[in-house]
Amino acid sequence: DAMVIQNPRYQVTQFGKPVTLSCSQTLNHNVMYWYQQKSSQAPKLLFHYYDKDFNNEADTPDNFQSRRPNTSFCFLDIRSPGLGDAAMYLCATSRVWGRNNSPLHFGNGTRLTVT
Amino acid sequence: SQQGEEDPQALSIQEGENATMNCSYKTSINNLQWYRQNSGRGLVHLILIRSNEREKHSGRLRVTLDTSKKSSSLLITASRAADTASYFCATLHYNTDKLIFGTGTRLQVFP
């Protein structure tokens, strides 16, 4: 089945120690997104790629970076995780961007714990 | 903030009852979408309603949209224990083409 896969499901890292979360998709969608979701809150968009075109949200901290080496894979790098970065990180894809009414397909997320 | 708000924050019902969740938003939109999230999992798309539509059905789901009031509702009929989840509305904003999620409603359906 075509899907969005996130690895690992759970990640523990130490304060200040760089960590990378990965996402892959078999849907061949053009757009990939990273959302941050803290407990009982709405998912918050960090950035998205339209093909290779990177789009950062204005309020996404510089501590967060992303790479998309090809259509199928996208990575979230947190350079120096703080305690406030503990959250569920959700990867999503869509066939196109914006007003073409293309719904998002989400992975099951990676829950990041910072100790 | 462009974020939508959902009401109620939490809802508990018995199996077989209907569940209604409401979403309000602040800016002009292209469409509004509803997603479900089971505990500890990703979001699953349920239904999309365009800004020029007023009502849409999908199985046991019924969504309405009132753009003059900037509000939407999701009705789940004949609820089941498996419907227990958090439900989020998300609005595709007209000016930015960004999908912004609301605060969610936690639904608990008791057998």
B98 and A4: CB-CB below 8 Å? no
Residues of chain B predicted below pLDDT 70? 1-3
Interface mutation vs chain B, best among A101, A105, A110, most B CBs within 10 Å:
A101
CB contact under 8 A, B88 and A45: no
Q: Which residues of B touch A41 (CB under 8 A)?
A: 103-104
Q: Are B73 and B11 a contacting pair, CB within 8 Å?
A: no
Residue B1: predicted pLDDT: 52
- Report whether B29 contacts B92 (CB < 8 A): yes
Cα torsion A98, A44, A109, B31: sign: negative
Percent of chain A with pLDDT over 90: 81
Q: Smallest CA–CA separation between A45 and chain B, in Å?
A: 8
- Average model confidence (pLDDT) across chain B: 93
